[in-house]
Amino acid sequence: QGTIETSEREHLVSFWQFLSGKGRTGYLALQGFRFLGMPGPDEENNALCNILKKSINMKELELSTLALLTRGDGKTASVAALKHLESITIRGPYHQRCVAILSSLRSPIVKVDLSFGFRDPVPLLANFRDSLEVIDCTCMTFRDPGISKQLIYPKVECFVIIDCRLPRLSALKTSFPNLRRLSIDNEVDVHNEDPEEEMRLSIEREKLRKANQDFQKTKSWDTLDFFSADLHRLYMLALRCKVNHFWLSGPFWYHEEDIYWFTSSLALMRPTRLGFILLTRLFPPRHLLEILSIGTEEVRRLDITLAIESPGSDDVDPEDALVPEQALVTGCTSLKYRF
């Protein structure tokens, strides 16, 4: 029993022949299958369909969207035949068959990992709303809950959002009322060198922050065990609930705007554990912890990574310069620096 992974399409036929040679027990023993390549239109495609259709005990499946682009409709039916599947991953360029496969599945899916284009995952995963616990999605578009406000995922506790347009908090809270872990990250630089475009982005940012603040006057999660976001999405989300562990994904500069965005958000989340990467040209960053302590009165563990561009003196030990300031974080029992 185990999981097989391959990206070489010529391996599909030999693996299919191997399983067939074992009789029914060969297929029954396959618990997981990951195919990251693109099968040919004939024998290789037939091999993939048979592996999927006959491996009825399969619990984990990962396919590249390239595997879905070849001719024949057998793959959708083959995946639909998997009644014990618990985890499915589909990655690559968008194709309509991605939606067809998810729509055809009736398995009690617990975890999905999707990265195939701009589709709203809330209605897309409706078949699994009573079993789904973990969602990881990249390059998706979230709509406000007006379209799918009746779709509630009561068991989802972990949601990872990468390179997606930031959804309104109302959409997240409505569909995922029992969330415990939330990660929101974007590798795209949100700054724009065009002043007019930067002004437009700034207006949108403040508008979304205001909408999230207004929503949380009556609704929000009570507590999140873990929350991670880059600085801009942290500011726009304006999360107002207790966060046990907050990690600022991506560095921020030691200047007035970034410090304000960061500390104003921390004051609302009251994290017990806090971690971040700080870019600075100053050495040491003067009054760093004094500034941060405004929003970190409940912090018991603090993890700081300093990226120093221009050290002021080669004779100064970074830890000697910073450790004396740890008393500024009231009650903090663990303080770590990395350089």
The pLDDT assigned to 292 comes to 61
Please list the helix, strand and coil fractions of the chain in percent, rounded to the nearest 5, in that order.
35, 25, 40
The pLDDT assigned to 45 comes to 78
Note the Cα 84 to chain centre separation in Å: 25
The pLDDT assigned to 28 comes to 86
Encode burial over 79-108: b for 16+ CB neighbours within 10 A, e otherwise.
bbbbeebbbbbbbbeebebbebbbeebebe
Running DSSP on this structure, what letter comes out for residue 241? S
Q: What are phi and psi of 266, to 5 degrees?
A: -60, -35
**Residue listed under structure tokens 């390239």:** 66
Number of H helices, E strands in the chain: 12, 14
The pLDDT assigned to 281 comes to 65
The pLDDT assigned to 87 comes to 95
CA-only gyration radius of the chain, Å = 24
The structure's pTM equals 0.83
Q: Which token pair is 335?
A: 């303080």
Contact assessment for residue 157 and residue 178, using Cβ atoms and an 8 Å cutoff = yes
Contacts of 125 (CB under 8 A, 6+ apart): 102, 109, 112, 132, 135, 153
- Give the pLDDT of the chain (339 residues) as one tens digit per residue: 567 777 666 678 888 888 888 777 788 888 998 887 766 667 777 888 888 888 889 999 998 766 665 555 677 888 888 999 999 998 877 777 788 888 889 999 999 998 877 678 888 899 999 999 999 988 777 766 544 557 899 999 999 988 777 778 888 888 899 999 999 987 555 555 677 777 888 888 889 999 999 999 888 899 999 999 988 889 999 999 999 999 998 777 777 788 888 888 888 898 999 888 877 665 555 556 665 665 567 888 888 777 766 555 554 455 544 444 444 455 555 556 555
Task: List the beta bridge partners of residue 230.
Answer: none
The pLDDT assigned to 84 comes to 92
The pLDDT assigned to 247 comes to 93
